[in-house]
Amino acid sequence: MSNYKRIFKDGYSYFITIVTQGRNPILIECIDQLRYSFALSKKKYAYTIDAIIILPDHIHMIITPKNSNEYPKIISHIKRSFVYGLDGHYKDNAKMTLSTSSYNRKLSGIWQKRFYEHTIRDEKDWLEKIQYIQHNAVKHMLVDDWNDWQYSSFVP
């Protein structure tokens, strides 16, 4: 059992990474549904997206929630809304890859169960995470220049 504890401090920002199950590259294919999932979460929770990049199989973002205790709920809401809105084709393919125990626990097979979170502690930390997000499509060899990746908050 891990003794990892999330930090909940109002006024702080959080660097979040969400990954699809098995690194399934469906996020760009389903970008409209993903955008709709974010819109739904923004109606329910008060938070800003300070920076974001969406790659085929994962998302990096910095969010600043009004209520820090809600950021896990925000992530959960985005993930659930995305799954609920997907075509049956995506859901069926994802369920076929689930283990019996995951299927019995009613996991969707679309997202990894957990997400990565890092509390931004100072300006240096903030700038490092911004640069990481900004250059992530280049790191993954999707584009040669970060300006060319249209699924990011850094699009010129």
Q: What is the pLDDT of residue 3?
A: 65
Instruction: Output DSSP code: residue 101.
Output: H
Short-list 31, 16, 68, CA closest to 47: 68
Q: pLDDT tens for residues 27-81?
A: 999 999 999 999 999 999 999 999 999 999 999 999 999 999 999 999 999 999 9
- Cα 125 to Cα 16, 56, 63, 122: the distances in Å are 13, 26, 14, 5
36 is catalytic: no
How many CB atoms lie under 10 A from the CB of residue 28?
Answer: 14
Tell whether the model's pLDDT for residue 144 goes beyond 90. yes
Q: What is the pLDDT of residue 129?
A: 98
pLDDT band at 91 (very low <50, low <70, confident <90, very high): very low
**How confident is the prediction for the chain on average, in pLDDT?**
87
The stretch 72-100 carries a mean pLDDT of: 71
Q: What would be the CATH architecture of the domain defined by 23-148?
A: 2-Layer Sandwich (3.30)
The stretch 107-126 carries a mean pLDDT of: 88
Q: How far apart are CA 153 and CA 14, in angstroms?
A: 16
Q: Where are the beta strands (DSSP E) in the chain?
A: 14-19, 47-54, 58-65, 116-119
State what percent of residues in the chain have pLDDT above 70: 83
Exposed / middle / buried, residue 39 (Cβ in 10 Å: 0-12, 13-18, 19+): exposed
pLDDT band at 88 (very low <50, low <70, confident <90, very high): low
Tell whether the model's pLDDT for residue 92 goes beyond 90. no
β-pair type (47-54, 116-119): unpaired
Residue in 14, 71, 90, 151 annotated catalytic: 151
pLDDT band at 98 (very low <50, low <70, confident <90, very high): very low
pTM recorded for the entire structure? 0.86
The stretch 101-124 carries a mean pLDDT of: 76
User: Would you kindly state where each structural domain of the chain is located, as residue ranges?
Assistant: 23-148
